[in-house]
Structure 1
């Protein structure tokens, strides 16, 4: 069977919405080639460090590649993708040049080739994030291993926004804390919280594919006694109070989360860790957090990405 590879050259800010559009269009797989990944150091199966091949990545920005079956509906599907991607401009999302290109591949080529982009990597002070298909022997026995199978969900745990969240969890989470993970994706942040000693983690995502992926990864990492995963739109109808709410979302969704009363879900002195914020939108997000009754106590950054740690104000 032949597959058409659709490559959209865009920005980091647009990765998640573009990816969602491609999956909704019926993509049989997605690869994300982020030029910023070239700045990271990865680990081989033997634990030695190595760098990625620049030839596999764009000079700047991000390539989001989707795979669609070559059939009589392909032309219509591509037009729908173009319209949906362009409509993101209405939400003030920077698409970059949004250039779209095509190529064809046999099924055997794309079914395994995408795995070369996902390698073991050390994250924060406490973790290795390792794809399930890698035979990995940890060099540092003090680091905890998070096994991930990205499946059809967005994220492999190594994107700067995820790393910032993990680093913030390492700094601020107390043992036996109860944590809410909003927009869990593959479940990596919920798993990290559990491995850092959380008593209970409730992970939610609107995308049913992400929910299923997170459930699989939770079981892979043997934290199902701590982590529960369910489908939910942001924090709507979530009950209880939490020591930490972690939200790795687009800036617009962090603002919506704040306006939706996330402060009410925090215990006294509870913290919101919000990431996925592109630098030009930092002040807009901070204003929304302050209006919601939160006080920003820390800013973290990685490239163009910002994470904010906000405390419930009394």
Structure 2
């Protein structure tokens, strides 16, 4: 299938109204190429798994891109987009250069072109995440390589909540531990725990797609003898005991099973929680204390919080 890429050179002020115009014209999403992104400071430890190409960005203003299928209605749709964007000046919106260009993209090329921007990234002292198609040689013998396909539905593994979780697993997982991963998504935390020496990891998720994604990534990393992916709602009906429970999901969901997590942990076991937006930190922290946990650490990366709690000996 062929797609038409519409690229509009405009201003930051016009991003939202132009995005709305493109959505209303049938684009399922837009791409914003803002040169300010080239100069944003990144946290050195985890950085970003992709590299931005300055040649793809304007020297001033922004590019807004959208994709529409090439069909008999394309010309009419493009004319309507041009008219609607030009009409924004009547609302005192600065549309800048308003240069609009159209180009054709093959679906097959579009599906794979983004891969060239994704590179290996070190996200903790030991763990480096690499996209599956990249050749990578470990820098030292202690480095643990975790392979992911960012084309899957659960991202690249470099979101702050995932990074915080992996860093905590690296600190609190001992060789021979039993680990439960609640809300496994792509399985990145389960795989991380296995690479760190856990003898058994069970990855639970309510989403069947997540269970399949975890299974694929587990095999990709050759830890299928350690990690088992299961369809399950949180820790409901789970009877096994664990040394570590990790959960990178929303704060509102974490507080729904802190009592069960306390019961399923061995004495002295650790409960690693992440996916907590800054404003929900106290909600989770106080609930953990209420259940009997000791709070060991509260860590933050950008606007996200991770809490490491311990079940008393």
What CA deviation, in whole Å up to 9, does each residue of 1:19-52 have, x standing for no partner?
A: xxxxxxxx9x99999x799615599xxxxx9954
- What is the SS of the residue equivalent to 1:240? coil
- TM-score, normalisation: structure 2: 0.69
* Alpha-carbon distance, 1:113 to partner: 2.8
**2:26 is equivalent to residue 39 of structure 1:** no
The within-5 A match list for 1:187-202 is: 187-202=187-202
**2:149 is equivalent to residue 146 of structure 1:** no
Q: How many residues align?
A: 248
Q: Is the 8 A contact 2:50 2:119 kept in 1?
A: no
User: In the superposition, relative to structure 1, how do residues 51 and 311 fare at CA in structure 2: closer, same or farther (>3 Å)?
Assistant: same
**2:305 is equivalent to residue 312 of structure 1:** no
Q: Is the 8 A contact 1:38 1:52 kept in 2?
A: no
Q: Is the 8 A contact 1:148 1:156 kept in 2?
A: yes
* Alpha-carbon distance, 1:116 to partner: 3.9
User: In the superposition, relative to structure 1, how do residues 32 and 269 fare at CA in structure 2: closer, same or farther (>3 Å)?
Assistant: farther
Aligned to 1:16: none
* Alpha-carbon distance, 1:240 to partner: 0.8
Moved more, 265-274 or 284-293: 284-293
Q: Is the 8 A contact 2:203 2:228 kept in 1?
A: yes
- What is the SS of the residue equivalent to 1:256? coil
Aligned to 2:230: 230
Q: Is the 8 A contact 2:45 2:124 kept in 1?
A: no
Q: Is the 8 A contact 1:194 1:223 kept in 2?
A: yes
Q: Is the 8 A contact 1:41 1:51 kept in 2?
A: no
User: In the superposition, relative to structure 1, how do residues 298 and 42 fare at CA in structure 2: closer, same or farther (>3 Å)?
Assistant: closer
Greater CA radius of gyration, 1 or 2? 2
Aligned to 2:162: 162
User: In the superposition, relative to structure 1, how do residues 313 and 51 fare at CA in structure 2: closer, same or farther (>3 Å)?
Assistant: same
Aligned to 2:120: 120
User: Which ranges in structure 1 are unaligned for 5 or more consecutive residues?
Assistant: 6-26, 44-48, 58-64, 72-102
User: In the superposition, relative to structure 1, how do residues 200 and 152 fare at CA in structure 2: closer, same or farther (>3 Å)?
Assistant: same
Aligned to 1:98: none
- What is the SS of the residue equivalent to 2:245? strand
Q: Is the 8 A contact 2:168 2:272 kept in 1?
A: yes
Query: Residues of 2 paired with 1:128 and 1:30: CA distance?
Result: 30
* Alpha-carbon distance, 1:291 to partner: 2.1
User: What is the aligned-residue RMSD (CA, Å)?
Assistant: 3.6
User: In the superposition, relative to structure 1, how do residues 37 and 106 fare at CA in structure 2: closer, same or farther (>3 Å)?
Assistant: farther
What CA deviation, in whole Å up to 9, does each residue of 1:247-272 have, x standing for no partner?
A: 0111112122325x221111101110
Aligned to 1:291: 290
User: Which ranges in structure 2 are unaligned for 5 or more consecutive residues?
Assistant: 6-27, 58-64, 72-101
* Alpha-carbon distance, 1:233 to partner: 1.6
User: In the superposition, relative to structure 1, how do residues 148 and 309 fare at CA in structure 2: closer, same or farther (>3 Å)?
Assistant: same
What CA deviation, in whole Å up to 9, does each residue of 1:110-133 have, x standing for no partner?
A: 301332453200121111111101
User: In the superposition, relative to structure 1, how do residues 287 and 3 fare at CA in structure 2: closer, same or farther (>3 Å)?
Assistant: farther
User: In the superposition, relative to structure 1, how do residues 4 and 267 fare at CA in structure 2: closer, same or farther (>3 Å)?
Assistant: farther
What CA deviation, in whole Å up to 9, does each residue of 1:247-300 have, x standing for no partner?
A: 0111112122325x2211111011100011111110111122122222211111
Aligned to 1:221: 221
Aligned to 1:91: none
Aligned to 1:251: 251
**2:280 is equivalent to residue 277 of structure 1:** no
* Alpha-carbon distance, 1:311 to partner: 0.9
